[in-house]
Amino acid sequence: MPVLVGAILAVGAVSGSAAPARAHNSLVASTPEAGATITELPESFSVTTNEDLFEAGAASGGFALQVIGPDGLFYGDGCVDVAGPTMSAEPALGAPGSYTLAWQVISIDGHPVDGQFGFDWAPAAGAEVFPGATGAPVCGESAQKETPPGTATPVPSAAPDTDGGSAVTDDASLATTLWLGAIVAAVTAAAIATALVVRNRRKSV
């Protein structure tokens, strides 16, 4: 742990010397909207911030969009796309009920920003039902455990969080995924900042 803390502090020092401090990105829009009830799947689930995101960190695992159902299962394949200020993912939901969308992005200043909100899924009868997984999905890897389509049994939703969404039922898995991604993204940011400092020094010689 001391080594990780030292590395994070070093990243802050290097980033601070390479460029002026900037405010973190903030959420300005999402699909679905927080607290909304949707009756059909949108083209994608997405979160949009007030500024472009740090796309160089997209491949490092610093970005995540996770959807947790009323049955406590995770939905989706764990893959995300980053374009400008928006992160998006292919939509997938199971049985009707209250869902939580948890997200993390890397701000243009290299810092992680995260949040979560709830929404309701009320599809028409006969709508396609996707399988859920007991663990947070990782892009390109098979889900830890899937349930066949249409067999998930909904349970009463968790208590609402302060933002009006359902509480994440697998906080440990989500926290691990997001923090590991944040650490990798921070190291990536440090490497880029160091390269910029070296380049500027060479120009000044």
Domain ranges across the chain? 21-204
Check if the beta carbon of residue 89 is closer than 8 Å to that of residue 172: no
Query: 43 is written with which tokens?
Result: 């083209």
What is the mean predicted confidence (pLDDT) over 67-77? 97
pLDDT in tens, 40-52: 999 999 999 999 9
From the options 3.40.50.300, 3.40.190.290, 2.60.40.1220, 3.40.640.10, give the CATH code of 21-204: 2.60.40.1220
Residues 6+ apart with CB under 8 A from 171: none
11 has pLDDT over 80: no
The secondary structure of residue 84, as a DSSP letter, is: T
0.75 cut: is pTM over it? Answer: no
Percent over 70 (pLDDT), the chain: 56
pLDDT in tens, 128-157: 899 999 999 999 886 544 444 443 333 333
